[in-house]
A and B are shown apart, each in its own frame.
Chain A
Amino acid sequence: MINITMPLTEDIRKKLKAGDEVLLTGTILTARDAAHKRLCDTLKKGNKLPINLKDAVIYYCGPTPARPGRAIGSCGPTTSSRMDPFTTDLIELGLGGMIGKGDRSDAVKGAIKKHKCVYFLATGGIGALLSTKVKSAKVILYSDLGPEAVHKLEVKDFPLLVGIDSKGIDLYDKAGWKKE
């Protein structure tokens, strides 16, 4: 088990290998489909992003609302591949890592390798359990998107696996089954 504290600097990223079990602590951001589209539309227009992605980690997650007295509701990962068309642009801006579930496109894998980024896997469908690792949550951008807004999360010992490491090695390729 490897303990990591944010920010996810290149030094940390380079040490991680596909299959490593990681406990992540610190500040991360959530963003999923609609937020990714808006971020990339902003870039397309030649504008600066309203958030700093340098060495940051984006978690593909749309949580359930928090019950009173709790930081967050259920908060597991969503399918990463839907974010693939937007991801390379964000990696080029210095994004350190992403958290999601499932395969990534060859273009994303290439960008991960080129920029020494890391793609982490969180277990899908265990959002209640993962909610216990989130100490605070705050919407910081696109609040009109509801569950799809960008949240700033403070996490402690958030359990992850390294899915694709900075050398581009993919854990799914090692799993013994091949997607045709």
Chain B
Amino acid sequence: MREISVSKIRDTVTDLCLKANFELRKDILKGLKSALRQETNSRARNILKSIIENASLAKKRRLAICQDTGLVTIFLEIGNDLAIKGDLEEALHKGVEDAYKKGYLRKSVVNDPLVRKNTNTNAPCIIHVDIVKGDKLKIAVSPKGFGSENKSAIKMLKPTASEKEIMDFVLEVVKNAGADACPPLVLGVGIGGTFDHAAQLSKKALLRSIETRNTKKHFRALEKSLLKAVNALKIGPMGLGGKTTALGVNIEEFPTHIAGLPVAVTVSCHATRGAEKVL
């Protein structure tokens, strides 16, 4: 059986957190540039230009793209035939801690939701694990700000609900997010599973490039209809009007129960960050 040490995992998490916070994802940058070509509204154009300039400066100076360097969610895909030597959970938290110290990133995590004392490390992180075939380990980090996280929502629809009802819910979430969530947005939509799993899928959907569509035809069509409908809202960059309200809509789905149709929407901003590596 292939073995991997937790120290390698810790270092990889650190590198990925730094990369995600300093280098805007290529697909997002490309989406922003394409939005700039389409916008005619001068205010929308100026905002998009600043966002693009910001990305280049952040990368060059190793400065956080956004000061809200987020609460980190880590998605692991662990191969069945891989043996991890050591304390995996500790390695993940320490990997985050190392990055936030080394990269002068903001420590935005409080120890307790009610006591609210800053942990000063940005740990702990949120960990999701999938068990997969093979002997590899895939690590994906998603440091996400709370301006957009606060606007995320979930709804348990009836199993007989139409696609239109799904779309109406997503549009309601986007309208409610308005200017607050830093549009143009990236929307992660989780459909199916359970209450908790739909939410997790919606977060995971954000990891996928906005240029890559869902593998299933009907979800691919729904992604496209949603993006079109969201942009028709004309909320625009920073909510000041324009053609670009979202850069992308990614759906992840899972089998569900005969009695339900959970739909979760994770709202993410134009600085949707993420980085991944296979070990």
Contact = CB atoms under 8 A, between A and B. Distances in A.
B107 A147 contact: yes
A129 B104 contact: no
Given A64-B67, A73-B104, A128 B57 contact: yes
Contacts of A66: 104
B66 A125 contact: yes
B67 A73 contact: yes
A59 B53 CA distance: 22
A175 B241 contact: yes
B234 A172 contact: no
Given A73-B104, A147-B108, A175-B241, A125 B179 contact: no
B116 to A, nearest CB: 7
Interface majority SS on A: helix, strand, loop or mixed? loop
A172 B180 CA distance: 11
A127 B180 contact: no
A102 B239 contact: yes
B180 A75 contact: no
A132 B61 CA distance: 11
Contacts of B270: 125
A101 B238 CA distance: 8
Contacts of B271: 125
A78 B54 CA distance: 17
B65 A103 contact: no
Interface in B50-94: 50-51, 53-54, 57-58, 61-69
Interface string A103-146: 10000000000000000010111111101100000000000011
Contact of B51 (A34, A61, A63, A125): A125
A67 interface: yes
Interface in B8-62: 43, 47, 50-51, 53-54, 57-58, 61-62
16 contacts: A64-B67, A67-B63, A67-B104, A73-B106, A76-B66, A78-B68, A78-B147, A124-B182, A125-B65, A125-B271, A128-B57, A146-B118, A147-B67, A147-B108, A175-B240, A177-B234
Interface of B: 43, 47, 50-51, 53-54, 57-58, 61-69, 104-108, 116, 118, 120, 147, 150, 175-176, 178-180, 182, 233-236, 238-241, 269-271
Given A128-B64, A147-B108, 18 more contacts: A64-B69, A64-B106, A73-B64, A74-B65, A74-B66, A74-B106, A75-B67, A76-B68, A78-B68, A123-B50, A123-B238, A125-B65, A126-B66, A128-B54, A128-B63, A131-B63, A171-B240, A177-B239
